[in-house]
Structure 1
């Protein structure tokens, strides 16, 4: 009689919960790397090589810093140079190696016409100023006596949709209600171009 096949044992990542061989496609591969180096070195041999190269670079930097600081005059320069190097590595990288840019703090207001008569005013970017969008939509709806709701936009970022054409009245309301939002940070989208409100 043939042997009964044994079930496959799958190693799951202790950080993201995916099978270890799929971590590189997961949400945060950088956080998984230390766990994978320790528990699954055979799956990612490049990680071990990368870790040993980083350790060698760190040791060389430390030796160089000690050598320069021993000369007397250049100690301050070496320590500041060594302090700047790790800061450059803290840049957030997206999958594919692209660098994630910090979002500008700006509020963008756009009027969308539907069915040639009805308008919807879209407000994006209030959350970048620390404003809770659900509270902001309630205040906007109350002030302009209309419907206002928080929805996900085309880029999966939350925005406020306000029924009606209130684009130019809304600037004064935003600056009065939330003093943290300067008028110079408010822009309109007109004919596909961004125009300053101020």
Structure 2
């Protein structure tokens, strides 16, 4: 009779929770490095070698009176904030401050006007939907859009008057930051 194979023992990283051999593909490999050097030096031998080289250089700097935080003059160097990293190594883009107005047609002649990005100017969306509903005598509500961000849906085609209403009601929103989506292209409202 054939012998049963033993189950594979997987070493999981104590920082990111991934298997140790996949840490380099995780959200922040830099935070995992100290844990990997201590608990799994055989998986990443180049990390251990790099650590020995860095220790040698830092010892030389310490002897000469130069530390990592301060330069030769003793003044501290300004630290730069690292960019936000997403899984896969991509950096997160900051949202542009712009209001996008789009008219969506449904059921032949019915249409809905959507407003996206009004919250980036500090406008509370629930209050804005109430004001839009009262001004245009129609239904307006805050809903999650396809990108999981909140947007305002207003029943009817109100694109003709909405730019003036937005700039009059919320002076923080400049007219140059308002765009229409027409035929799949972003067009300035001005």
With the length of structure 2 as denominator, give the TM-score of the two structures.
0.68
Tell me the residue number matched to 2:153.
161
User: Which runs of structure 2 are paired with 1:26-175 in the superposition (5 Å)?
Assistant: 29-30=27-28, 33=31, 37=35, 41-42=39-40, 49=47, 53=51, 56=54, 59=58, 66=66, 69-70=71-72, 75=73, 79=76, 82-83=77-78, 86-87=79-80, 90-175=82-167
Runs (4 or more) in structure 1 with deviation over 6 Å come to 22-25
Distance 1:190 1:98 in 2: 30
Taking a change above 3 Å as real, the CA distance of residues 138 and 22 of structure 1, as seen in their structure-2 partners, is: farther
- Please report how far the alpha carbon of residue 118 of structure 1 lies from its aligned counterpart in structure 2 after TM superposition: 0.5
- Report how many aligned residue pairs link the two structures: 169
What is the Cα-based RMSD across aligned positions, in Å?
A: 4.1
With the length of structure 1 as denominator, give the TM-score of the two structures.
0.66
| Higher-helix-fraction structure | 1
Q: Look up the SS of the partner of 1:108 in the other structure.
A: strand
In structure 2, stretches of 5+ residues that fail to align are: 1-11
- Please report how far the alpha carbon of residue 21 of structure 1 lies from its aligned counterpart in structure 2 after TM superposition: 3.7
Matched, 1:178 2:178: no
- Please report how far the alpha carbon of residue 37 of structure 1 lies from its aligned counterpart in structure 2 after TM superposition: 2.9
Task: From the CA coordinates, give the structure whose radius of gyration is larger.
Answer: 2
